[in-house]
Amino acid sequence: MRIAVLRERRPGERRVALLPEQIPQLLEAGVDVSVESDAGAEVGASDEAYRAAGAEVGEDVLEDVNAVLSVQPINLSTARRLSEGTVTISFLPTAEEGPLVRRLRERQITSFSMDLVPRTSRAQPMDAMSSQSMVAGYRGAIVAAERLPRFFPMFMTSAGTVRPAKVLVLGAGVAGLQAIATARRLGAVVQAYDVRRSSAEEIASLGAKFVEVDLPPLEGEGGYAREMTEERSTRQRELLAPHVADADVLITTASVPGRQAPLLVTAEMVAGMRPGSVVVDLAADQGGNVAGSIPGQELSVDGVLVWGGSNVASQLPRPASELYAHNVVNLFLLMVRAGDLHLDFDDDILAAACVTHAGRITHRPTLELLG
Ligand code: NAD
């Protein structure tokens, strides 16, 4: 059996799906590896390093492969070249990738989406949503520290005492908790809010203060947040406004599965912040938690810097690729038995993450959407 690792083609994507370090493990499992030239160029993994680890490296790696690994979804022309029964593994946000999903179905390709790996204990080693959110949360705090025209930590010097920066994090999932931890390590005073019941304890365990507001928790299926009603949104914004105004740094990470990110901070709330404050919206790609934030752009709004995240994990491509590669290999090895491809759809992880198989869309919400 042979797998191919592609060079990423989407603008701004700097990660790679596999590093030379994982190749011996694959060879041992009976899987040969072909890597497209320059696939690891952005993360310091040279073609020579892949070759030295046992891979073949070349320009055309699609011939006779059983599986294709990538970070972003493959493009339509790559899908056209794959033979029936080939497996693809990548992020595959199906709502945005209708034409590709239809092409994968038509070509009888078995596609798996890293976005759909369940959040169960057994699936943790394959949970790329978490690993990449962790990278994004760290990056968000570092961007804020770098852009803020003041220190994060308190300094007591002979020239006087400098107060620490006040950081507010809204949304304390994987990215938010990492942003909190990073800002704390840099010495900031951190407060955070999330709608989930369990978040208060998690926030406190990182040495940050949970912002108490007079609103009930908002939890839906599987411990995830639910979408807010308009009334709740307005009330939440009113209650959070004074905390936003008091922050030097605001980092937002809130999202709700399958929905546009909730608007947590209005333009008026941004205008209420002190000039020189920094806003980092890590949900900008999903519609934004902050009014006016634009993915991939840094704007000055009434003297407040508003940084809109865009594929933020890719801005730290080396660790993001290391973690993603582990996730992807762990998922792929669930499909390998004695060096052959063996797809066991009684395995709940494979069943949940599969989008198309044998000419059908197997992921029910995608099927309902695309028909
Ligand atoms: P996410 O990226 O979907 O959302 C980020 C955070 O935004 C969440 O914590 C959510 O509660 C919060 N949020 C949503 N609406 C909000 C609002 N209006 N105001 C404030 N906050 C709001 O979440 P995630 O990081 O993927 O994690 C979601 C959940 O999954 C968490 O409970 C997390 O602990 C859990 N999880 C479990 C596993 C596992 O068991 N394997 C792995 C990862 C995450």
> What's the ipTM?
0.94
Whole-number Å distance between alpha carbons of 114 and 129: 7
Q: What is the per-residue pLDDT across 259-272, written as a single tens digit (0 to 9) for each?
A: 899 999 999 999 99
Tokens matching residue 282: 């890590």
Tokens matching residue 231: 């009334």
Distance in angstroms between the alpha carbons of the first and the last residue of the chain: 33
Given a contact cutoff of 8 angstroms between Cβ atoms, the answer to whether 72 and 52 are in contact is no
Q: Helices in the chain by DSSP H: which ranges?
A: 23-28, 47-53, 76-81, 98-106, 128-147, 174-185, 199-205, 230-246, 267-271, 317-333, 348-353, 364-370
- Which of 131, 196, 240, when mutated, tests ligand 1's pocket best, judged by the most ligand atoms within 8 Å of its CB? 196
Can you state the angle between helices 174-185 and 128-147, rounded to 10 degrees? 40
- In 3D space, the residue among 271, 252, 301 whose CA is nearest the CA of residue 144 turns out to be 252
Task: Say how many Å lie between the CA of residue 175 and the centre of ligand 1.
Answer: 8
Alpha carbon distances (Å) from 160 to 145, 153, 156: 21, 14, 6
pLDDT band at 221 (very low <50, low <70, confident <90, very high): confident
DSSP code at position 29? T
pLDDT at position 256, please? 83
pTM of the model: 0.96
Q: What is the per-residue pLDDT across 118-158, written as a single tens digit (0 to 9) for each?
A: 999 999 999 999 999 999 999 999 999 999 999 999 999 99
- In 3D space, the residue among 321, 318, 313 whose CA is nearest the CA of residue 142 turns out to be 313
pLDDT at position 258, please? 77
- Which of 195, 212, 265, 349, when mutated, tests ligand 1's pocket best, judged by the most ligand atoms within 8 Å of its CB? 195
Give the position of tokens 């990073």: 182
223 pLDDT exceeds 80?
no
Which numbered atom of ligand 1 lies nearest the CA of 174? 25
What is the rounded average pLDDT of the residues 75-81?
96
- In 3D space, the residue among 227, 228, 194 whose CA is nearest the CA of residue 213 turns out to be 194
Beta bridge partners of 227: none
DSSP code at position 273? S
Q: Which residues participate in catalysis according to the annotation?
A: 119, 124, 127, 130, 224
Question: Which residues contact ligand 1 via a Cβ below 6 A?
Answer: 119, 124, 127, 129-130, 133, 170-176, 193-196, 223-225, 228, 253-257, 262, 264
Secondary structure E strands in 246-339: 249-252, 278-281, 298-301, 304-308, 336-337
Alpha carbon distances (Å) from 322 to 16, 150, 181: 9, 33, 21
Q: From atom 18 of ligand 1, which residue's Cα is the shortest distance away?
A: 262
